[in-house]
Structure 1
Amino acid sequence: MKHSFKESYGVLQRHAQTLREQREPNIDDLLQIVEESVSAFKICQARIDAVEKALEKELGEPQRETAERSPVPTAPAESTASKTAPKTASKTAAPATDDDDVPF
């Protein structure tokens, strides 16, 4: 029987809640819980993979690569330059001129 993501996710939530509420593990039910949870997880994972592939197809590139191409790598170079500039300025100029170097 084919289940939807929502149904499968609901199974995972119910089983997690059941396991959290147990004071003592019910070994008799554990096998069924594990089997149903694994099956539900596989359905959820397949749906997530399908959505990721559809997004990659529509956007023309993998989503993970897009995150890696963010402007974050340029930020450390800028922050390094701004950290070294005040040190250089403080060695060559009086402390009063450091206030004049505000970049805005």
Structure 2
Amino acid sequence: MALSRRSLSSLFLIAVLTACSTMALAGTHRAIVSKVAPVYPELAKRMHVSGIVVVLLTVAPDGSVSDAKIESGHALLGNAAQDAVRRWRFEPASETTSMTVDVSFANQ
């Protein structure tokens, strides 16, 4: 069954928002203030590549993401996930926090 570009974007956004709730925090919870959904790479769509990309984040005291490194996931999806989470914002805290985030790419 072929899905339209709009349907794929909607499925992808739902998958990302669901996956973003699974964060492992180092003893502290920092709520997400704003998220940017990753852009599903066109080549990955055409090749029907899907999966989870695990990104290790470093969140600065002001809530901005100061570093994001791909821990695992398909090479075609990694950069899109990394680029998106670099633009996320978290609630401010007194110190830098490290966490991992799972970003799902579902292509049906």
Q: TM-score, normalised by structure 2?
A: 0.23
Q: Decide which structure has the larger Cα Rg and report it.
A: 1
Q: TM-score, normalised by structure 1?
A: 0.24
Higher relative contact order (CA 8 A, sep 6+): 2
Compare the two structures and name the one with the higher helix fraction.
Answer: 1
Compare the two structures and name the one with the higher strand fraction.
Answer: 2
